[in-house]
Amino acid sequence: MTDLREANRGAVLSDLLVHRPTTRTAIAQRTGLSAATISRAVEVLVADGVVREVSEVVSANRGRRAVALDLVGERSVVAGVDLGASTTRVVLADFAGAELRRWEEPTRSDLPAAALADWLAGMVTGRSAGLGAGLAAVSVGLPGAVAESGAVSNAPNLPQVMDAEFTSGLRRAGAVGIRVDNDVNYALLGEQRRGAAADAGDAAMVTIGAGLGAALAIDGRILHGRHGLIGEFGQLPAGPMGTRLEHMVTGPGILRRAEEAGVPLARPQDLFDDEHRLSPLRTQFDHALQIVLTAVAVASEPEVVVLGGGIAESLAGDLDRYQATLGATLQVAPRLVPAALGSFSGAIGAAIDAVHSLYADLGAEPGFGGGHGRSAAS
């Protein structure tokens, strides 16, 4: 109950972030506020240069044409980064969330923490130069658990990021607000806003690649946990002899287990060739994945579970089968779908989070899908 007027401006912005473009009347209906209040709030936002009237909306209605409102995109640029163990993907977007540029390059995983941060910051600032507006916010997803304090743990595939030097280095390099969160959390956010989990309030994502990660969202909100451990289903000691599931289903785990079984594979993906379809290794993989999917399902009861990550791409043809098994186990099973944004889910989600962080500064409530990310605290 700070300032009611400001709160209403925030509500308008929040609505505009999700429904874009829209009209004053539509905002009034969705927010439940009166048209008069919306008009007054929009007036301020337009004066502030945050919102702009765009060309009139095409409408089948009879009366006066509504004036479409949209966010002013050119104000500034944000970056969403998915710092993977092997590949780093970046998306630059404008203030309105429109994608401006995307690229990927190998992660310099050979660098120590501070140098890695410098490399990342240099790459992003370098490539965002000359876009007209300055970089206003950066969100970085990384393969580890990010605590409320900003501390990173559980990142075996890119251990440098656990070093406090990494986050502090990032903050030093860029003058702008930097937020850090788990890569899968961002990927789920991306899929919720622009991908396979659109309009699913309860959704989950599982990524399988170099590591196993999961993210859970309930009522549009991504669950974090004080230490960021929510979703670490790879820790489940449910494999044979109590092996952790992450050793059963991730790329390095598959290679090692194949070697131990005397049938070495050239690449983890080979396990999903037809010739291995009935191999014990493949059966164990399926079983382990089934446990993960069931755990995700009963942890948050998502309407949809999005599968992403390098290994998951090889599973596209088997989704129906997994879905069927899941349905046999649970009365109500979630839909199992591949990531619609592909390997860029995480970067896109990070960019969305960065945009959100800017609007949060303007008073927008963390509405549907909001409240993500963690600002890199000192």
Does residue 61 bind DNA (CB under 7 A)?
Answer: yes
62 binds, among DNA, a second copy, none (CB under 5 to 8 A by kind): DNA
* Residue of 53, 104, 301, 365 that binds a second copy (CB under 8 A): 301
Neighbours of 16 (CB within 10 A): 22
* Residue of 12, 15, 21, 23 that binds DNA (CB under 7 A): 23
Does residue 323 bind DNA (CB under 7 A)?
Answer: no
* Residue of 20, 102, 287, 335 that binds a second copy (CB under 8 A): 287
Closest CA to 358 of 2, 63, 1, 16: 16
* Residue of 19, 49, 54, 65 that binds DNA (CB under 7 A): 65
265 binds, among DNA, a second copy, none (CB under 5 to 8 A by kind): none
Give per-residue burial for 239-269: e unless 16+ CB within 10 Å, then b.
Answer: beeebbbbbbbbbbbbbebbeeeeeebeebe
Does residue 44 bind DNA (CB under 7 A)?
Answer: no
What lies within 8 Å, CB to CB, of 42 at 6+ separation is 12, 24, 27, 51, 69
Piece of 20-28, 43-51, 324-332, 370-378 that binds a second copy (CB under 8 A): 324-332
Largest CA distance in the chain: 75
- For residues 124, 127, 128 and 130, what is the CA-based torsion angle, rounded to 10 degrees? 150
Query: Smallest distance from the beta carbon of 254 to DNA, in angstroms?
Result: 56
CB-based burial of residue 168 (10 Å sphere; 0-12 exposed, 13-18 middle, 19+ buried)?
Answer: middle
237 binds, among a second copy, DNA, none (CB under 5 to 8 A by kind): a second copy
Binding characters for a second copy, 211-240, by CB under 8 A (x = yes): -----x-x----x-xxx-xxxxx-xxxx--
Q: Which two tokens stand for residue 160?
A: 């440098």
Query: Smallest distance from the beta carbon of 156 to DNA, in angstroms?
Result: 49
* Residue of 29, 294, 314, 375 that binds a second copy (CB under 8 A): 294
CA distance 152 to 281: 32
CA distance 312 to 12: 39
Toward DNA, which CB reaches closer, 24 or 194?
A: 24
Toward DNA, which CB reaches closer, 24 or 171?
A: 24
Q: Are residues 191 and 340 in contact, defined by beta-carbon separation less than 8 angstroms?
A: yes
Toward a second copy, which CB reaches closer, 232 or 353?
A: 232
Question: What is the footprint of DNA within residues 66-105 (CB under 7 A)?
Answer: 66-67
CA distance 120 to 107: 9
